[in-house]
Amino acid sequence: MKNGRKHPQITGATCNTQLVQKWCGMVLLGILVVLFSLEKDGETAGPATVTQSVRSDMVDSASIEITRNMIEDIVMDFLNAKVPWDKHRVKIKLVQISNGLMLPDMPYSYKVVPPNDTRYLGTVPLNVVFDIQGQPPKKAWATVKIEVETDVIVVNKPLNRNQTIGKDDVNVVSMDMADLPSNYISRLEDVVGKKTLRIMNPKEVFRTDIVELPPMVKRNDRVSIVAESGNLRITAVGEVKESGGIGDRVKVVNLSSNKEIFARILDSKTVQVEF
């Protein structure tokens, strides 16, 4: 028999105690590992929460929305007050309008700015300027089409030069004023009985420069001669030496000096000397 190392005897109670101690040590080690991991990440072992960070530059102050409908209402109110034509014969169509905009929640005012010298006919662009207290102004815009229906005299059948115009030669039709020349004729009495100054074709619009109108002044009529320069105004009595219409330059004799001059006809009683 070989001599060997003598092993100690392990009883059942001793074995159970060692197993419990080993299991407890493993559980404790696991808890320490979890705690260490959580503390490393800067978190706490509590209920899970979700926090959303918000960039400060994404937070807008209180503002006022100016919608496209509001811009349209502003423009239409302005036009209804400004258009000089008969409201029953006017149609306003919105062609284009800018997008809405945001204004700071501060006191503001607005104004509609039309083009200079607009006649409120045809296509008209408009700016809407919003003035905000203590802030640069903001702008919106709209483009409208203004149609004004008006009576106009047109040719019914071909007319020759120097032909006397009869009632059967003309028609009265309705047209959009924006499509007409500025000197169109709208009254029958202004063409019937007059003579044409050139050949005219059917549907052509009568104009004052096509129809021979009666002279505004005639030879030997007495008129007032007006001469103006700045704040200086001089008048004299004259006698017309040739017939003419408004805007024509005619010979006039100054009865005070017996000098013959040229003056432009303003009306049936007045001519103006041009410097």
In the chain, % of residues over pLDDT 90: 61
Rg of the chain over all Cα atoms, to the nearest angstrom: 48
Helix H or strand E segment including 123: strand 122-132
Enumerate the H helices of 41-146 as residue ranges.
Answer: 68-82
Name the band, by pLDDT with cuts 50, 70 and 90, for residue 233.
confident
| 217 closest CA partner among 185, 193, 191, 250 | 250
> Distance between CA 274 and CA 232 in Å, rounded?
13
| 170 closest CA partner among 139, 140, 211, 228 | 211
Among the ranges 46-50, 190-194, 212-216, which has the highest mean pLDDT value? 190-194
Would you give the end-to-end CA distance of the chain in angstroms? 155
Helix H or strand E segment including 143: strand 138-155
Place of tokens 């001669």: 225
What pLDDT is stored for residue 244 in this prediction?
86
Domains, the chain, ranges and CATH? 63-148 (3.10.129.10), 149-212 (3.90.1210.10), 222-273 (2.30.30.760)
- Judged on CB neighbours under 10 Å (0-12, 13-18, 19+), 91 is exposed
In the chain, % of residues over pLDDT 70: 77
* Integer CA distances (angstroms), 130 to 71, 81, 167, in order: 11, 19, 55
More confident residue, 135 or 12: 135
